[in-house]
Amino acid sequence: MGNGASADAASSASNGPVTTPLSPPQSARSATVVKRNKQFQEVELKPTPSSGSGDKPQSRGQHSRSGDKPQSRGQQHQQQTTSSRNQTQQNPRKGDDVGASGTTGRQSQPNRSSSPKEEDIVFETFYHRSGKEFQCIYQSGMRFYLDDWGSKEWQPFPKRWYNEGLLVTNSIVKDDADPRNSGSGASGSGGNGQGSQGGQRRSRGGGQDDREGYIMHPTRGKLPTYIFYKKHNVHMYMDKDTGSWMRLPIGWELNHPLVKELVDQVEEAIPHWNDRHEILAMLRSCNYDPDECINIYMHLEGDEWLKVPKTAKDAKAFIAKDEKIAELEMKVRNLEIEVQKYKAEKEEAETLLKSQAEKISDLETETKQTEAQLMVLGGRPRTAARLRSKTPAPVVKERVNPQDIETLNGHAMDLRKVHTRLKMDVQRYMDSMKDMVRQLGPAMAKMKASETSQMGELEEVRALYRKEALQRKLLYNQLQELRGNIRVFCRARKDDNATNCLKFPSDQDIVATHPQYGKKIFSFDKVFDPSATQEQIFEDTKPIVSSCVDGYNVCLMAYGQTGSGKTFTMMGPESNPGINIRAVKELFQVCQDRAETQTFTMKVSIVEIYNETVVDLLNSDAKVLELRTAGNKVNIPGITEIPIKAVDDIKKIMKMGDKNRTTASTKMNSTSSRSHLLLMLSLEGLDKVTGAVSNGTLTLCDLAGSERISKTEAEGQRLVEAAAINKSLSALGQVFTALRTSQLHVPYRNSKLTQILQPSLGGDAKACLFVNISPDEFNFQETISTLTFGSSARQIALGQAKQNIKKGPGRGND
């Protein structure tokens, strides 16, 4: 521990490069990271012209082979794996986005027969010269990297990084639309959507990463997969006959008391999952972690593949059901097309009918006019004759030519014929219209009936889609949920009067030098020198804080000797607040941004742990609290929880807590630096659409001073205090060690501090430890002790962080 990372770096210099193409990034993380860092110092990577010709990047393998020493087996293996990577490095991908720098020489590409297409997904690893590794994805001309903690999204790949490290292509997942792209190991989905076969994109003999592949899920579509290397517990028994250790059969293992307890725990959480063999099988795959086992089951509950089929008969029925659904969907589509067709025809016929009716009315008007004209013209002589018989005939000059009358009569006759013909046409059209309407009637009724029944099915499909979308979001979050490792930041306080013993060669390294004790180097996720501002400190913790809104348990702790700046970092002065106030502000901001879709309730409690006693600081009587552990949860019956709605509320509550702390300390004759202060925020989010409820917690912890008893030379009560602090801080160290070494039993119960922090330090949380140090040479030994503690904590892999979300009963969750 301690500066183990640096020690590794030194020892790795002679070992040559370490390339672990088959290992996921989190395996043996810190050790290999430093080794790689060393290589980057040794191998200068020069940008090459974008044509890809000319200088090739100097490969690691070439460099490592330069030594003449005979090789060990391990070295030979390293060289083999390295040489396969060298091969990949010498084939820069054509047309790749290399950023502004155009440093294609820094990128490597396996020797493949085909270049990636726009829609292909290229998996890559970026080795930053700082020693960090990042998983990257390149698609459609864009490259993203997965930050290794805290953030919620794939981040755009920074351009400057092209000059700061090496990109290694791991694999290309081809677009399935073109069957020619399928690799030998790949197989697409089955015709009925049940195709469960996964694909591996490369041949096993090709020396490439055969851990990557994909599966075609019946509802989720194409899911990238990766076979992660993880250290797993294997339960064995000693076989007396052979004298060797044998793996316990599941049936036997179920009788083991510890395993029984774990299975009971899962069964209790999911009562309807009553196949104990299955539970144990899942537990085995979860490394005997019941929480992970429960979470997997909960996330995938109702999943198509989990439901069935267990027998070939079931499988057939399942497929038949799917075919039926597909058939029904097809029917709906056809019927919808037919309805559209009928609607169009009906509209056409109606338009025609209307125009014909207009024509008829025009013709009728015309006919009436003509008849009137005829009456006028044809009736005149007869009228004149009648008049002549009664009265003496006046002298009338005949003005109308009889021939004209004849012509007009002829026209009238023609018009009548046309009129009659048109009338017959209209009648015919009307009849055919009526026929059409008669035919349409039942078809429409049929359509309506089937539409109603199909609407139900469509609604079901929609509900399924909404559920899938939610699950996809969850899985996406999981994918991006970076390894959830504890992050360790180091902050050196400002002290103008100190004899400075610290140097800061980079933002991840710190060197402490003492004329008597020599020089020590430590590395952290981030090192803040004394000039770092409160804003800068918070900026790096922001992503982890805001993930509490998504239902994660988050914990920020400040560790260090008295006077090293823990309270300054966590609380800070009113004019320049520390993490506490800024974190709450940030949480309110995130909640406000999501107000359209979610509502949040925030509650706060403040407790102090003094001499292994938990005191409620929001209770004016400084009530002593009990801790009750249930699984991974800790209940504190009777604790005061105050709801907060604005940042000002938290300020008032903190003042109240501070006042009560002073009262309590007077009562107990203690000083604030001798107790741990914990500000605990619980955040419940309700998704307005799905009804899902998320429960996140944020614990902000200002630990008691870590100085050792010998130095404080305490007596009496101070000795008891120091012993209690020692006990709790060593318990914290033991918990870190147990987590680091993946022990089945993590000793959370060894102190009140670790007990209360269990949910934030367990396998499903995100934690951030600030190690606060003084730059003064006088404090050198305490500083080294603090830095060693921080280094040890840094090597812990908490596992994937998990959200605490319960499905809601509401829409979209059915």
Q: Are strands 553-560 and 765-773 parallel, antiparallel or unpaired?
A: parallel
Q: How far is the CB of 673 from ligand ATP (least distance, A)?
A: 3
Does 568 bind ligand ATP (CB under 6 A)? Our answer is yes
Q: Are strands 107-108 and 165-173 parallel, antiparallel or unpaired?
A: parallel
Q: How far is the CB of 676 from ligand ATP (least distance, A)?
A: 10
Does 290 bind ligand ATP (CB under 6 A)? Our answer is no
Between 565 and 759, whose beta carbon lies closer to ligand ATP? Answer: 565
Q: How far is the CB of 669 from ligand ATP (least distance, A)?
A: 16
Between 562 and 640, whose beta carbon lies closer to ligand ATP? Answer: 562
Exposed e or buried b for every residue in 240-252, given b needs 16+ CB within 10 A? eeeeeeeebeeee
Burial of 106 (0-12, 13-18, 19+ CB in 10 A): buried
Report the C-alpha gap between 30 and 508 in whole angstroms. Answer: 13
Q: How far is the CB of 535 from ligand ATP (least distance, A)?
A: 12
The single residue listed with the structure tokens 């659409």 is 689
Does 578 bind ligand ATP (CB under 6 A)? Our answer is no
Q: How far is the CB of 209 from ligand ATP (least distance, A)?
A: 45
For residue 24, the SS3 value is: coil
Q: How far is the CB of 8 from ligand ATP (least distance, A)?
A: 30
Does 562 bind ligand ATP (CB under 6 A)? Our answer is yes
Contact criterion met (CB below 8 Å) for 471 and 299? yes
Contact segment (CB under 6 A) with ligand ATP among 216-224, 476-484, 564-572, 722-730 equals: 564-572
Contact criterion met (CB below 8 Å) for 146 and 480? yes
Between 259 and 557, whose beta carbon lies closer to ligand ATP? Answer: 557
CA-based nearest residue to 134, from 101, 104, 164? 164
Report the C-alpha gap between 760 and 554 in whole angstroms. Answer: 6
Does 665 bind ligand ATP (CB under 6 A)? Our answer is no
Q: Footprint of ligand ATP on residues 672-691 (CB under 6 A)?
A: 672-673
Helix, strand, coil percentages in the chain from 3-state DSSP, rounded to 5: 45, 20, 35
Q: How far is the CB of 761 from ligand ATP (least distance, A)?
A: 21
CA-based nearest residue to 755, from 616, 636, 582? 636
Does 494 bind ligand ATP (CB under 6 A)? Our answer is yes
Bind-site residues? 560-567
Q: How far is the CB of 565 from ligand ATP (least distance, A)?
A: 3
Does 785 bind ligand ATP (CB under 6 A)? Our answer is no
Between 564 and 788, whose beta carbon lies closer to ligand ATP? Answer: 564
- Per DSSP, the residues of 414-476 read HHHHHHHHHHHHHHHHHHHHHHHHHHHHHHHHHHHHHHHHHHHHHHHHHHHHHHHHHHHHHHH
Those residues whose C-beta lies under 8 Å from the C-beta of residue 580, and which sit 6 or more positions away, are 570, 571, 572, 650, 654, 679, 700
Choice from 24, 57, 193, 563 touching ligand ATP (CB under 6 A): 563
Bind-site residues for ATP? 560-567
Those residues whose C-beta lies under 8 Å from the C-beta of residue 141, and which sit 6 or more positions away, are 97, 118
- Cα distances (angstroms) measured from residue 138 to each of 111, 115, 155, 307: 17, 13, 12, 35
Choice from 48, 88, 125, 564 touching ligand ATP (CB under 6 A): 564
Between 131 and 565, whose beta carbon lies closer to ligand ATP? Answer: 565
- Per DSSP, the residues of 149-202 read SS-SSPEEPPGGGGGSEEEEEEEEE--TTSGGG--TT-----TTS----EEESS
Contact segment (CB under 6 A) with ligand ATP among 206-214, 442-450, 560-568, 797-805 equals: 560-568
Between 267 and 529, whose beta carbon lies closer to ligand ATP? Answer: 529
E strands present in 656-746 = 676-687, 693-702
Choice from 25, 57, 565, 775 touching ligand ATP (CB under 6 A): 565
E strands present in 515-597 = 518-523, 526-528, 553-560
Q: How far is the CB of 55 from ligand ATP (least distance, A)?
A: 46
Between 696 and 705, whose beta carbon lies closer to ligand ATP? Answer: 705
Contact segment (CB under 6 A) with ligand ATP among 130-138, 164-172, 365-373, 559-567 equals: 559-567
Those residues whose C-beta lies under 8 Å from the C-beta of residue 539, and which sit 6 or more positions away, are none
Quick one: three-class SS letters along 726-783?
HHHHHHHHHHHHHHHCCCCCCCHHHCHHHHHHHHHHCCCEEEEEEEEECCEHHHHHHH
Q: How far is the CB of 575 from ligand ATP (least distance, A)?
A: 11
The amino acid at 282: M
Q: Considering CB under 6 A, how many residues would be counted as binding ligand ATP?
A: 14
Contact segment (CB under 6 A) with ligand ATP among 295-303, 321-329, 509-517, 555-563 equals: 555-563
Choice from 560, 763, 790, 799 touching ligand ATP (CB under 6 A): 560
Does 661 bind ligand ATP (CB under 6 A)? Our answer is no
Per-residue x/- track, 765-784, ligand ATP (CB under 6 A): -------x------------
Contact segment (CB under 6 A) with ligand ATP among 199-207, 329-337, 465-473, 566-574 equals: 566-574
Report the C-alpha gap between 174 and 230 in whole angstroms. Answer: 27
Does 108 bind ligand ATP (CB under 6 A)? Our answer is no
Q: How far is the CB of 555 from ligand ATP (least distance, A)?
A: 18
Choice from 295, 567, 670, 785 touching ligand ATP (CB under 6 A): 567
HSE (side-chain half, CA atoms, 13 Å) at 485? 23
Structure tokens belonging to residue 432:
């055919």
Does 566 bind ligand ATP (CB under 6 A)? Our answer is yes
Does 705 bind ligand ATP (CB under 6 A)? Our answer is yes
Residues 157, 162, 167, 173, CA torsion sign: positive
Q: Are strands 165-173 and 155-156 parallel, antiparallel or unpaired?
A: unpaired
Q: How far is the CB of 775 from ligand ATP (least distance, A)?
A: 10
Contact segment (CB under 6 A) with ligand ATP among 73-81, 189-197, 282-290, 563-571 equals: 563-571
> Which residues here bind ligand ATP, judged by CB under 6 A?
493-494, 560, 562-568, 672-673, 705, 772
